[in-house]
Amino acid sequence: MNTQNKIGWKIISDDDNRKRIRIKRRIVSTQILAEWSDSPKMEVLLHHMPTDLALQFDHWLEDIEAEENAKDRGGV
């Protein structure tokens, strides 16, 4: 039996043995919001992101994932 709960633990069971292992957390979705000067409402930006900026953004997200996963293992 393999089950996963909402806090990232996966339960692995084979008959009499049960173990809990930490699943590596990953960012699966992002949104970029902007507040315009004429309205306090935050709006999702749906504009094209230049390739070089998209690559930098992806690397930044990877760094965030690494930091969060290190915290889960007791590091950082």
Distance CA 35, CA 45 (A): 10
Q: Does pTM top 0.75 for this prediction? A: no
Q: Which of 18-22, 45-49, 51-55 has the lowest mean pLDDT?
A: 18-22
Strand 2-4: give its sheet, edge to edge. Answer: 2-4, 9-14, 17-22
Q: What is the mean pLDDT of residues 6-11?
A: 58
In the chain, % of residues over pLDDT 90: 55
Give me the mean pLDDT over the 31-57 stretch: 97
Ordered by start, the domain boundaries in the chain are 2-72
Predicted pLDDT of residue 30: 96
